[in-house]
Structure 1
Amino acid sequence: MCYYSEQSEPLLKVEKRFNAKVDQPALFLQSDFIVGFEYLNVPVILNTSPEIIATNYHWGLVPSWSKDIDFRKNTLNARIETIEEKPSFRNSTSNRCLVIASAFFEWHWNDEKGKSKDKYRVSSSESELFAFAGIYETWLNSATGTNYNSFSIVTTAANKQMEYIHNHKKRMPIMLKQRDEMAWLDGRTNVQDFAFPYSVEMIAFRV
């Protein structure tokens, strides 16, 4: 799973890393701790405009057919094993995006009920900045007549390192290798090519 992330790098560094320009600098999110359930506008790069870093996409995908924005509390993550079957996601699998981050956070349970936990910060060994595999959608709010843009981070089975850290669910977000970012954005690429055992070498430590 992935409900807590970090995007702590400044705008210019993010633009340089992804060779793209932020569309609305005043809305650019820089934070040491991003909570998915706050549905913030996390910077993303869409497959339709890889030269732009979009700042108006909320974490928590709302399908175009949804009647209620509250649907997003169930769609912070999309399981890659069922992404092409679940009604929430199956119409969005070609709407690929890169979700920009510098780390994410997960908890190791020290007992069966998780009453005692250790928090870990996980990042990529490749770069201080990386991208999660994401999918996105635009929902029309019929009450206001306005569009709401949103995305979900795609998750897969945990590798050995994440099996230990996330020992309750044994899941992990798909952190893309830098060389594979454009391949993910290509909607013709098979989604399942990025399922475990695909993974990035991670750096993790308890915080």
Structure 2
Amino acid sequence: MCANFRPLTLQQLHQLSLPDISFEYPDEVYPNYEMPLLFQSAQGLEWRNVHFGMIPKWSDDTSIALKTYNARNETLLQKPSFFNAVSKCKFGVVPVSEFYESKYIENKAQRWGVRRKDGKAFYIAALYDICQKGGQVIRSATMITMDAIDHPMMKDFHEPGSVKRSVIVIPQERLEEWLSWKSPNILSFVHGFPVEEFECSHVPKIKIEKNSPQLNFFD
């Protein structure tokens, strides 16, 4: 699973020869934050600013995105939150610089980052949808995941046990195929990313110290 990542940078966007992004987005994304999603329209590749976490039209509250930011590929058609999007084959990608997972060292969770060795951004498979709530257009997306119990890198993340998940990375050479895919059956894309092209390391979260008036009294 993935609940935290860094979207691609401007330099990485140019490396991949992607269209410019016309809106701002955060350096680091968490569930229900806004993020850039790339999809294929009749005009070609386009960007949309979407919520990280699927917000289906039947939900009364956008906070559902806090629970729908990942979608198991095995059950896409069985989950009400994702059924409309997958049945209409609304496939996109979230280009990222790095994503973060928990690795347990001596029973304590550490934040580890996964990135490409060559420094390029990579595409995470996503499902997106659009709906209206109170006259407001809501765009949202979820990252599609796969079983990772046998993946050389991803099997070491998450809590100890038999459940290990990973995002699905769409290779550059299959990007156009994925974005124009017209079937809910996506098994041909469900492959673990090539571990020889990626690396991971401990990336602690930066703590922001809050200064109090007492601490600054003599400044």
Q: TM-score range by the shorter chain?
A: 0.7 to 0.9
Structure 1's unaligned 5+ residue stretches are none
Give yes or no for the alignment of 1:133 onto 2:125. Answer: yes
Q: Report Cα offsets for 1:137-188 as digits up to 9, x if no partner.
A: 112113xx11111100111111121101335441111121111211211232
Whether the 8 Å CA contact 1:139–1:148 is kept in 2: the answer is yes
Q: Is residue 146 of structure 2 the alignment partner of residue 146 of structure 1?
A: no
**Structure 1 residues 113-138: Cα deviation after superposition (integer angstroms, max 9, x where no partner):** x5x12221101346511111001111
Give the Cα–Cα distance (whole angstroms) in 2 for the partners of residues 30 and 141 of structure 1. 24
Kept in 2, the 8 Å contact 1:176–1:200? The answer is: no
TM-score calculated relative to the size of structure 2: 0.79
Distance 1:109 1:194 in 2: 29
Query: Any conservation in 2 of the 1:124–1:200 contact (CA below 8 Å)?
Result: no
Who is 1:204 aligned against?
Answer: 200
TM-score (norm 1): 0.83
Structure 1 residues 43 and 200 mapped into 2: Cα distance closer, same or farther (>3 Å)? farther
**Residues 1:67 and 1:184: Cα distance change in structure 2 (over 3 Å):** same
Could you tell me how far 1:29 is from its partner in structure 2? Answer: 2.1
What is the root-mean-square deviation in Å for CA atoms of aligned residues? 2.1
Q: 1:80 aligns with which of 64, 67, 73?
A: 73
Q: How many equivalent residue pairs?
A: 193
User: How far apart, CA to CA, are the structure 2 residues paired with 1:154 and 1:20?
Assistant: 23
CA distance in 2, matches of 1:70, 1:119: 24
Unpaired segments ≥5 residues, structure 2: 204-219
Contact 1:42 1:100 in 2 (8 A): no
